[in-house]
Chain A
Amino acid sequence: MNLTLKIWRQKNADTKGKMVTYQVSDISNDMSFLEMMDVLNEQLINKGDEPVAFDHDCREGICGSCSLQINGEPHGPDRGVATCQLHMRKFKDGDTITIEPFRAKAFPLIKDLVVDRSSFDRIQQAGGYVSVNTSGNTIDANSIPVDKENADMSFYAATCIGCGACVAACKNASAMLFTSAKVSQFALLPQGEVEADRRVLQMVEQMDKEGFGNCTNTGACEIECPKGISLENIARMNREYLKASVK
Protein backbone atom coordinates (compact mmCIF):
# COMPACT_ATOMS: atom_id res chain seq x y z
CA MET A 1 0.00 0.00 0.00
CA ASN A 2 0.94 3.62 -0.48
CA LEU A 3 0.86 6.01 2.42
CA THR A 4 1.31 9.69 3.20
CA LEU A 5 3.24 10.24 6.42
CA LYS A 6 3.23 13.50 8.37
CA ILE A 7 6.16 13.31 10.76
CA TRP A 8 7.43 15.70 13.42
CA ARG A 9 10.99 16.70 12.49
CA GLN A 10 13.13 18.61 14.95
CA LYS A 11 16.91 18.76 14.87
CA ASN A 12 17.38 19.11 18.63
CA ALA A 13 15.81 20.53 21.76
CA ASP A 14 16.95 24.06 20.94
CA THR A 15 15.55 24.34 17.43
CA LYS A 16 11.93 24.63 16.38
CA GLY A 17 10.31 21.58 14.90
CA LYS A 18 7.60 21.12 12.28
CA MET A 19 5.50 18.45 10.59
CA VAL A 20 7.06 17.23 7.33
CA THR A 21 5.16 15.20 4.74
CA TYR A 22 6.67 12.05 3.18
CA GLN A 23 5.34 9.46 0.74
CA VAL A 24 6.08 5.75 1.10
CA SER A 25 5.00 3.11 -1.39
CA ASP A 26 4.76 -0.69 -1.60
CA ILE A 27 4.29 -1.14 2.13
CA SER A 28 3.29 -4.70 2.97
CA ASN A 29 0.32 -5.47 5.23
CA ASP A 30 2.53 -7.78 7.24
CA MET A 31 5.12 -5.16 8.13
CA SER A 32 5.23 -3.74 11.62
CA PHE A 33 4.94 0.00 11.99
CA LEU A 34 8.63 0.27 12.79
CA GLU A 35 9.54 -1.73 9.67
CA MET A 36 7.53 0.79 7.68
CA MET A 37 9.63 3.51 9.39
CA ASP A 38 12.77 1.59 8.38
CA VAL A 39 11.59 1.61 4.76
CA LEU A 40 11.10 5.37 4.95
CA ASN A 41 14.53 5.88 6.51
CA GLU A 42 16.26 3.77 3.83
CA GLN A 43 14.49 5.89 1.26
CA LEU A 44 15.73 9.07 2.99
CA ILE A 45 19.30 7.78 3.36
CA ASN A 46 19.41 6.80 -0.33
CA LYS A 47 18.38 10.33 -1.20
CA GLY A 48 21.07 11.72 1.09
CA ASP A 49 18.52 13.11 3.57
CA GLU A 50 18.67 12.85 7.34
CA PRO A 51 16.74 9.73 8.50
CA VAL A 52 13.93 10.14 11.05
CA ALA A 53 15.17 9.44 14.58
CA PHE A 54 12.88 7.19 16.65
CA ASP A 55 13.35 4.94 19.68
CA HIS A 56 13.22 1.16 19.34
CA ASP A 57 15.01 -1.86 20.72
CA CYS A 58 13.52 -5.33 21.24
CA ARG A 59 10.73 -4.99 18.65
CA GLU A 60 8.65 -7.60 20.49
CA GLY A 61 6.76 -5.42 22.93
CA ILE A 62 8.73 -6.03 26.09
CA CYS A 63 11.42 -3.36 26.33
CA GLY A 64 9.25 -0.23 26.29
CA SER A 65 11.62 1.67 24.02
CA CYS A 66 9.33 2.44 21.13
CA SER A 67 6.99 5.31 21.62
CA LEU A 68 5.35 7.36 18.82
CA GLN A 69 2.02 9.14 18.92
CA ILE A 70 0.35 7.71 15.80
CA ASN A 71 -2.79 9.38 14.47
CA GLY A 72 -3.41 11.03 17.82
CA GLU A 73 -2.93 7.93 19.98
CA PRO A 74 0.16 6.51 21.67
CA HIS A 75 1.23 3.30 19.92
CA GLY A 76 -1.44 3.92 17.29
CA PRO A 77 -5.01 2.75 16.83
CA ASP A 78 -4.57 -0.88 17.94
CA ARG A 79 -5.14 -1.84 21.61
CA GLY A 80 -2.79 -3.75 23.89
CA VAL A 81 0.27 -3.40 21.65
CA ALA A 82 3.39 -1.27 21.52
CA THR A 83 4.32 0.52 18.28
CA CYS A 84 6.64 -2.35 17.31
CA GLN A 85 3.71 -4.79 17.48
CA LEU A 86 1.39 -2.56 15.47
CA HIS A 87 0.86 -4.04 12.01
CA MET A 88 0.43 -2.04 8.86
CA ARG A 89 -2.75 -4.05 8.16
CA LYS A 90 -4.41 -1.71 10.66
CA PHE A 91 -4.14 1.00 7.98
CA LYS A 92 -5.60 1.32 4.50
CA ASP A 93 -3.98 2.10 1.18
CA GLY A 94 -3.90 5.87 0.67
CA ASP A 95 -4.11 6.71 4.40
CA THR A 96 -2.43 9.77 5.84
CA ILE A 97 -0.70 8.94 9.11
CA THR A 98 0.52 11.57 11.57
CA ILE A 99 3.52 10.56 13.67
CA GLU A 100 4.56 12.69 16.63
CA PRO A 101 6.75 12.25 19.69
CA PHE A 102 5.20 11.62 23.13
CA ARG A 103 4.52 15.10 24.50
CA ALA A 104 5.13 16.07 28.12
CA LYS A 105 7.21 18.60 29.99
CA ALA A 106 8.79 15.67 31.84
CA PHE A 107 9.66 13.99 28.50
CA PRO A 108 11.89 16.64 26.88
CA LEU A 109 12.48 16.13 23.18
CA ILE A 110 15.93 15.02 22.07
CA LYS A 111 15.49 14.73 18.31
CA ASP A 112 12.60 14.14 15.88
CA LEU A 113 10.50 11.45 17.58
CA VAL A 114 12.93 10.64 20.38
CA VAL A 115 12.13 11.94 23.85
CA ASP A 116 14.06 11.65 27.10
CA ARG A 117 12.07 9.38 29.42
CA SER A 118 14.68 9.22 32.19
CA SER A 119 12.15 10.91 34.51
CA PHE A 120 10.60 7.42 34.77
CA ASP A 121 13.97 6.01 35.86
CA ARG A 122 14.25 8.65 38.57
CA ILE A 123 10.76 7.82 39.87
CA GLN A 124 11.77 4.16 40.00
CA GLN A 125 15.03 4.99 41.73
CA ALA A 126 13.20 7.04 44.35
CA GLY A 127 11.76 3.87 45.89
CA GLY A 128 10.78 1.26 43.34
CA TYR A 129 12.89 -1.51 44.80
CA VAL A 130 12.98 -3.97 47.70
CA SER A 131 15.82 -4.39 50.15
CA VAL A 132 17.07 -7.96 50.13
CA ASN A 133 19.86 -9.39 52.19
CA THR A 134 22.48 -10.58 49.74
CA SER A 135 25.39 -10.91 52.13
CA GLY A 136 25.57 -14.68 52.29
CA ASN A 137 22.37 -15.61 54.09
CA THR A 138 19.87 -14.68 51.38
CA ILE A 139 16.40 -16.07 52.02
CA ASP A 140 14.90 -18.00 49.14
CA ALA A 141 12.03 -15.92 47.73
CA ASN A 142 9.80 -18.98 47.50
CA SER A 143 10.04 -19.60 51.24
CA ILE A 144 7.79 -16.60 51.91
CA PRO A 145 4.14 -17.55 51.30
CA VAL A 146 2.30 -15.10 49.02
CA ASP A 147 -1.43 -15.12 48.44
CA LYS A 148 -2.11 -16.32 44.87
CA GLU A 149 -4.42 -13.42 44.04
CA ASN A 150 -1.91 -10.84 45.29
CA ALA A 151 0.93 -12.56 43.47
CA ASP A 152 -1.06 -12.38 40.22
CA MET A 153 -2.02 -8.73 40.70
CA SER A 154 1.56 -7.87 41.56
CA PHE A 155 2.69 -9.64 38.41
CA TYR A 156 0.16 -7.76 36.26
CA ALA A 157 1.42 -4.47 37.71
CA ALA A 158 4.99 -5.56 37.03
CA THR A 159 4.23 -6.11 33.35
CA CYS A 160 4.43 -2.31 32.91
CA ILE A 161 7.24 -1.74 30.42
CA GLY A 162 7.60 1.96 31.28
CA CYS A 163 7.05 3.12 27.71
CA GLY A 164 5.25 6.33 28.72
CA ALA A 165 2.09 5.79 26.67
CA CYS A 166 0.05 6.62 29.79
CA VAL A 167 1.68 10.04 29.99
CA ALA A 168 1.34 10.58 26.24
CA ALA A 169 -2.35 9.66 26.22
CA CYS A 170 -3.29 11.66 29.32
CA LYS A 171 -4.66 15.10 28.63
CA ASN A 172 -2.80 16.20 31.76
CA ALA A 173 0.46 14.37 30.93
CA SER A 174 0.14 12.58 34.26
CA ALA A 175 2.42 9.67 35.15
CA MET A 176 0.16 8.15 37.78
CA LEU A 177 -0.50 4.89 35.93
CA PHE A 178 3.24 4.20 35.60
CA THR A 179 4.04 5.23 39.17
CA SER A 180 1.10 3.31 40.59
CA ALA A 181 2.08 0.15 38.70
CA LYS A 182 5.57 0.38 40.16
CA VAL A 183 4.18 1.07 43.65
CA SER A 184 1.63 -1.75 43.33
CA GLN A 185 3.99 -4.48 42.25
CA PHE A 186 5.74 -4.16 45.61
CA ALA A 187 2.80 -3.08 47.76
CA LEU A 188 1.09 -6.40 47.06
CA LEU A 189 4.00 -8.53 48.25
CA PRO A 190 5.36 -9.22 51.74
CA GLN A 191 8.89 -8.62 50.44
CA GLY A 192 9.74 -4.97 50.79
CA GLU A 193 6.92 -4.25 53.19
CA VAL A 194 9.45 -2.60 55.50
CA GLU A 195 9.95 0.29 53.10
CA ALA A 196 6.31 0.45 51.88
CA ASP A 197 5.51 3.89 53.34
CA ARG A 198 8.79 5.46 52.33
CA ARG A 199 8.45 3.98 48.86
CA VAL A 200 5.09 5.47 47.97
CA LEU A 201 5.86 8.86 49.53
CA GLN A 202 9.19 9.20 47.75
CA MET A 203 8.00 7.94 44.37
CA VAL A 204 5.04 10.33 44.34
CA GLU A 205 7.28 13.18 45.47
CA GLN A 206 9.69 12.43 42.62
CA MET A 207 6.80 12.17 40.15
CA ASP A 208 5.58 15.64 41.17
CA LYS A 209 9.12 17.03 41.02
CA GLU A 210 9.55 15.82 37.43
CA GLY A 211 6.67 18.05 36.32
CA PHE A 212 4.07 15.48 35.36
CA GLY A 213 0.45 16.62 35.48
CA ASN A 214 -2.24 15.54 37.94
CA CYS A 215 -4.54 12.61 37.41
CA THR A 216 -8.19 13.50 36.79
CA ASN A 217 -9.36 9.91 36.31
CA THR A 218 -10.23 10.22 32.63
CA GLY A 219 -8.98 6.67 32.11
CA ALA A 220 -7.17 7.34 28.80
CA CYS A 221 -3.97 5.76 30.18
CA GLU A 222 -5.59 2.41 30.93
CA ILE A 223 -7.03 2.17 27.42
CA GLU A 224 -3.83 3.15 25.62
CA CYS A 225 -1.46 1.11 27.81
CA PRO A 226 0.11 -1.63 25.67
CA LYS A 227 0.11 -3.90 28.73
CA GLY A 228 -3.41 -3.08 29.92
CA ILE A 229 -2.26 -1.82 33.33
CA SER A 230 -5.47 -1.17 35.27
CA LEU A 231 -6.67 2.02 36.98
CA GLU A 232 -7.04 -0.20 40.03
CA ASN A 233 -3.32 0.40 40.54
CA ILE A 234 -3.85 4.16 40.79
CA ALA A 235 -6.51 3.59 43.43
CA ARG A 236 -4.10 1.30 45.27
CA MET A 237 -1.40 3.97 45.15
CA ASN A 238 -3.94 6.52 46.44
CA ARG A 239 -4.67 4.20 49.38
CA GLU A 240 -1.01 3.47 50.06
CA TYR A 241 -0.12 7.15 49.94
CA LEU A 242 -2.99 8.17 52.21
CA LYS A 243 -2.02 5.45 54.67
CA ALA A 244 1.64 6.53 54.61
CA SER A 245 0.83 10.25 54.89
CA VAL A 246 -1.29 10.03 58.02
CA LYS A 247 1.28 7.98 59.93
Chain B
Amino acid sequence: MAKSALLKSSLAKKYWMAFTGLFLCLFLVGHLIGNLQLLIPVSEGARDTFNEYALFMTTNPAVKVLSYLTYISILFHAIDGLMLTINNRKARPQGYVNFKPSTNTMWSSRNMGILGTIILAFIVVHMTMFWGEMKFGGLDETVYTTANGEEVKDLYTLTIKTFQDAQYGLIWAIAYAIAMLAIGFHLSHGFASGFQSLGVNHPKYNGFIRKLGLAFAVLVPLAFAVIPFYIHFVLEKI
Protein backbone atom coordinates (compact mmCIF):
# COMPACT_ATOMS: atom_id res chain seq x y z
CA MET B 1 0.00 0.00 0.00
CA ALA B 2 2.79 2.37 0.88
CA LYS B 3 3.97 2.57 -2.73
CA SER B 4 0.66 3.61 -4.25
CA ALA B 5 0.10 5.86 -1.25
CA LEU B 6 2.85 8.17 -2.50
CA LEU B 7 1.50 8.26 -6.04
CA LYS B 8 -2.22 7.81 -6.11
CA SER B 9 -3.74 8.92 -2.81
CA SER B 10 -5.33 12.32 -2.26
CA LEU B 11 -2.46 13.22 0.03
CA ALA B 12 0.12 12.25 -2.56
CA LYS B 13 -1.45 14.75 -4.96
CA LYS B 14 -1.02 17.41 -2.30
CA TYR B 15 2.62 16.52 -1.67
CA TRP B 16 3.53 16.67 -5.35
CA MET B 17 1.59 19.88 -5.85
CA ALA B 18 3.42 21.46 -2.92
CA PHE B 19 6.82 20.07 -3.82
CA THR B 20 6.72 21.16 -7.47
CA GLY B 21 5.14 24.50 -6.53
CA LEU B 22 7.80 25.37 -3.97
CA PHE B 23 10.52 24.28 -6.39
CA LEU B 24 9.03 26.64 -8.98
CA CYS B 25 9.20 29.44 -6.37
CA LEU B 26 12.96 28.90 -6.26
CA PHE B 27 13.04 28.96 -10.05
CA LEU B 28 11.24 32.34 -10.02
CA VAL B 29 13.97 33.81 -7.81
CA GLY B 30 16.69 32.51 -10.12
CA HIS B 31 14.88 33.79 -13.20
CA LEU B 32 14.35 37.20 -11.60
CA ILE B 33 18.03 37.61 -10.77
CA GLY B 34 18.84 36.91 -14.42
CA ASN B 35 16.23 39.37 -15.64
CA LEU B 36 17.56 42.18 -13.47
CA GLN B 37 20.52 42.37 -15.85
CA LEU B 38 18.10 43.86 -18.38
CA LEU B 39 18.08 47.05 -16.33
CA ILE B 40 21.70 47.78 -17.30
CA PRO B 41 21.96 50.18 -20.29
CA VAL B 42 23.55 48.96 -23.50
CA SER B 43 26.31 51.58 -23.28
CA GLU B 44 27.57 49.82 -20.14
CA GLY B 45 28.02 46.55 -21.99
CA ALA B 46 24.65 45.03 -21.08
CA ARG B 47 24.32 43.35 -24.47
CA ASP B 48 27.47 41.28 -24.03
CA THR B 49 26.86 40.51 -20.35
CA PHE B 50 23.27 39.41 -20.86
CA ASN B 51 23.97 37.33 -23.97
CA GLU B 52 26.92 35.60 -22.31
CA TYR B 53 24.66 34.85 -19.36
CA ALA B 54 22.00 33.46 -21.75
CA LEU B 55 24.64 31.28 -23.40
CA PHE B 56 25.75 29.99 -20.00
CA MET B 57 22.14 29.25 -19.04
CA THR B 58 21.53 27.23 -22.21
CA THR B 59 24.77 25.27 -22.24
CA ASN B 60 25.90 24.66 -18.66
CA PRO B 61 25.14 21.01 -17.75
CA ALA B 62 24.08 21.80 -14.15
CA VAL B 63 21.69 24.49 -15.37
CA LYS B 64 20.39 22.00 -17.94
CA VAL B 65 19.50 19.53 -15.24
CA LEU B 66 17.74 22.30 -13.30
CA SER B 67 15.89 23.48 -16.38
CA TYR B 68 14.60 19.98 -17.15
CA LEU B 69 13.48 19.71 -13.54
CA THR B 70 11.66 23.00 -14.01
CA TYR B 71 9.88 21.81 -17.18
CA ILE B 72 8.86 18.59 -15.44
CA SER B 73 7.67 20.54 -12.40
CA ILE B 74 5.53 22.87 -14.50
CA LEU B 75 3.99 19.93 -16.37
CA PHE B 76 3.42 17.90 -13.23
CA HIS B 77 2.03 20.89 -11.34
CA ALA B 78 -0.41 21.62 -14.18
CA ILE B 79 -1.51 18.01 -14.72
CA ASP B 80 -1.85 17.40 -10.98
CA GLY B 81 -3.88 20.60 -10.70
CA LEU B 82 -6.16 19.55 -13.53
CA MET B 83 -6.69 16.12 -11.97
CA LEU B 84 -7.45 17.73 -8.60
CA THR B 85 -9.98 20.07 -10.19
CA ILE B 86 -11.74 17.21 -12.02
CA ASN B 87 -11.81 15.04 -8.87
CA ASN B 88 -13.06 17.89 -6.74
CA ARG B 89 -15.87 18.73 -9.13
CA LYS B 90 -16.95 15.08 -8.98
CA ALA B 91 -17.01 15.16 -5.18
CA ARG B 92 -20.05 17.46 -5.22
CA PRO B 93 -22.28 16.42 -8.13
CA GLN B 94 -25.20 18.48 -6.86
CA GLY B 95 -24.21 22.01 -5.91
CA TYR B 96 -25.81 24.46 -3.51
CA VAL B 97 -28.46 26.96 -4.53
CA ASN B 98 -26.91 29.38 -2.06
CA PHE B 99 -23.17 28.99 -1.42
CA LYS B 100 -21.12 31.73 0.22
CA PRO B 101 -17.45 30.75 0.09
CA SER B 102 -16.38 34.39 0.32
CA THR B 103 -17.35 34.40 3.99
CA ASN B 104 -14.73 31.83 4.88
CA THR B 105 -12.03 31.75 2.19
CA MET B 106 -9.76 34.04 0.16
CA TRP B 107 -10.58 34.59 -3.50
CA SER B 108 -7.16 33.40 -4.65
CA SER B 109 -7.43 30.12 -2.71
CA ARG B 110 -10.65 29.26 -4.53
CA ASN B 111 -9.40 30.21 -7.99
CA MET B 112 -5.99 28.55 -8.19
CA GLY B 113 -7.12 26.62 -11.28
CA ILE B 114 -8.12 29.73 -13.22
CA LEU B 115 -4.98 31.58 -12.11
CA GLY B 116 -2.89 28.56 -13.04
CA THR B 117 -4.46 28.41 -16.50
CA ILE B 118 -3.64 32.09 -17.10
CA ILE B 119 -0.07 31.42 -15.98
CA LEU B 120 0.20 28.36 -18.24
CA ALA B 121 -1.04 30.39 -21.22
CA PHE B 122 1.54 33.05 -20.36
CA ILE B 123 4.31 30.43 -20.15
CA VAL B 124 3.42 29.14 -23.64
CA VAL B 125 3.53 32.65 -25.17
CA HIS B 126 6.64 33.56 -23.19
CA MET B 127 8.50 30.40 -24.24
CA THR B 128 7.56 30.91 -27.89
CA MET B 129 8.77 34.51 -27.89
CA PHE B 130 12.06 34.13 -26.05
CA TRP B 131 13.07 30.56 -25.27
CA GLY B 132 11.80 29.24 -28.61
CA GLU B 133 13.64 31.94 -30.54
CA MET B 134 16.80 31.21 -28.55
CA LYS B 135 16.64 27.44 -29.12
CA PHE B 136 15.14 27.02 -32.56
CA GLY B 137 14.19 30.39 -34.04
CA GLY B 138 15.55 33.41 -35.83
CA LEU B 139 18.24 34.16 -33.28
CA ASP B 140 20.57 31.75 -35.10
CA GLU B 141 21.17 34.56 -37.59
CA THR B 142 22.14 37.10 -34.95
CA VAL B 143 25.22 35.28 -33.66
CA TYR B 144 28.15 37.62 -32.94
CA THR B 145 31.38 37.54 -30.93
CA THR B 146 31.49 39.41 -27.62
CA ALA B 147 34.44 41.35 -26.18
CA ASN B 148 35.34 38.18 -24.24
CA GLY B 149 35.52 36.26 -27.51
CA GLU B 150 32.35 34.20 -26.96
CA GLU B 151 30.00 33.42 -29.82
CA VAL B 152 26.52 34.35 -28.59
CA LYS B 153 23.00 34.75 -29.90
CA ASP B 154 21.57 38.22 -29.46
CA LEU B 155 18.72 37.54 -27.03
CA TYR B 156 19.34 40.92 -25.40
CA THR B 157 18.43 42.91 -28.53
CA LEU B 158 15.34 40.74 -29.12
CA THR B 159 14.08 41.35 -25.58
CA ILE B 160 14.80 45.07 -25.50
CA LYS B 161 13.33 45.61 -28.97
CA THR B 162 10.17 43.73 -28.05
CA PHE B 163 9.44 46.08 -25.18
CA GLN B 164 10.78 49.24 -26.83
CA ASP B 165 8.70 48.71 -29.98
CA ALA B 166 6.81 51.96 -30.59
CA GLN B 167 3.63 50.17 -31.65
CA TYR B 168 3.41 47.01 -29.52
CA GLY B 169 6.05 47.49 -26.80
CA LEU B 170 3.69 48.93 -24.23
CA ILE B 171 0.97 46.34 -25.01
CA TRP B 172 3.48 43.53 -24.41
CA ALA B 173 4.53 45.16 -21.15
CA ILE B 174 0.91 45.42 -19.99
CA ALA B 175 0.17 41.81 -20.99
CA TYR B 176 3.30 40.77 -19.11
CA ALA B 177 2.15 42.72 -16.04
CA ILE B 178 -1.26 40.99 -16.14
CA ALA B 179 0.45 37.59 -16.17
CA MET B 180 2.60 38.70 -13.22
CA LEU B 181 -0.56 39.76 -11.38
CA ALA B 182 -1.94 36.25 -11.89
CA ILE B 183 1.33 34.79 -10.57
CA GLY B 184 1.10 37.14 -7.57
CA PHE B 185 -2.39 35.97 -6.66
CA HIS B 186 -1.42 32.34 -7.31
CA LEU B 187 1.54 32.72 -4.94
CA SER B 188 -0.50 34.55 -2.29
CA HIS B 189 -2.25 31.24 -1.63
CA GLY B 190 0.26 28.77 -3.04
CA PHE B 191 3.38 29.66 -1.09
CA ALA B 192 1.98 29.14 2.42
CA SER B 193 -0.30 26.36 1.19
CA GLY B 194 2.74 24.40 0.01
CA PHE B 195 4.16 24.37 3.50
CA GLN B 196 0.83 23.27 4.98
CA SER B 197 0.58 20.40 2.47
CA LEU B 198 4.04 19.17 3.38
CA GLY B 199 3.01 19.19 7.03
CA VAL B 200 4.87 22.32 8.07
CA ASN B 201 2.35 23.95 10.38
CA HIS B 202 3.23 25.16 13.83
CA PRO B 203 1.70 28.11 15.70
CA LYS B 204 5.19 29.43 16.30
CA TYR B 205 6.09 29.63 12.60
CA ASN B 206 2.71 29.96 10.82
CA GLY B 207 2.65 33.75 11.02
CA PHE B 208 6.15 33.98 9.59
CA ILE B 209 5.41 31.57 6.72
CA ARG B 210 2.21 33.44 5.86
CA LYS B 211 3.95 36.83 5.90
CA LEU B 212 6.91 35.49 3.92
CA GLY B 213 4.45 34.04 1.38
CA LEU B 214 2.62 37.33 1.00
CA ALA B 215 5.88 39.28 0.70
CA PHE B 216 7.08 36.79 -1.92
CA ALA B 217 3.75 37.02 -3.76
CA VAL B 218 3.95 40.82 -3.93
CA LEU B 219 7.66 41.50 -4.37
CA VAL B 220 8.74 38.84 -6.88
CA PRO B 221 5.99 39.41 -9.50
CA LEU B 222 6.28 43.18 -8.98
CA ALA B 223 10.01 43.09 -9.67
CA PHE B 224 9.38 41.00 -12.79
CA ALA B 225 6.63 43.37 -13.98
CA VAL B 226 8.64 46.55 -13.47
CA ILE B 227 11.39 45.45 -15.88
CA PRO B 228 9.42 45.68 -19.20
CA PHE B 229 8.05 49.10 -18.24
CA TYR B 230 11.53 50.27 -17.31
CA ILE B 231 12.79 49.03 -20.67
CA HIS B 232 9.95 50.82 -22.48
CA PHE B 233 10.04 54.16 -20.70
CA VAL B 234 13.45 54.63 -19.11
CA LEU B 235 16.14 52.41 -20.58
CA GLU B 236 18.42 53.82 -23.26
CA LYS B 237 16.91 53.10 -26.72
CA ILE B 238 18.63 50.66 -29.08
Binding site for B on A (CB under 8 A): 6, 8, 19, 69, 71-73, 77, 98, 100, 103-106, 109, 169, 171-174, 176, 201, 204-205, 207-208, 211-220, 223-224, 231-232, 234-239, 241-242, 244-247
Contacts and interface: CB of A to CB of B under 8 A. Distances in A.
Contacts, number: 150
Contact of A219 (B90, B97, B105, B112): B105
A231 B201 contact: yes
Interface string B61-90: 000000000000000000000001001101
Nearest to A79: B104
Interface residues of B, number: 44
Nearest to B93: A105
The 4 residue pairs across chains A and B that have the minimum distance between CB atoms: A213-B91, A72-B100, A235-B201, A239-B199
Interface stretch (B2-10, B27-35, B151-159): B2-10
Given A171-B88, A236-B199, A215 B14 contact: yes
Contacts of A100: 96-98
B193 interface: yes
A218 B11 contact: no
A242 B199 contact: yes
A119 B96 CA distance: 20
Given A100-B98, A173-B92, A232-B201, 9 more contacts: A72-B98, A72-B99, A98-B97, A103-B96, A213-B87, A217-B192, A217-B193, A232-B202, A238-B196
Contacts of A224: 104
Interface in B132-168: none
Given A223-B104, A241-B11, A217 B196 contact: yes
A236 B101 CA distance: 25
Contacts of A171: 88, 101, 105, 110
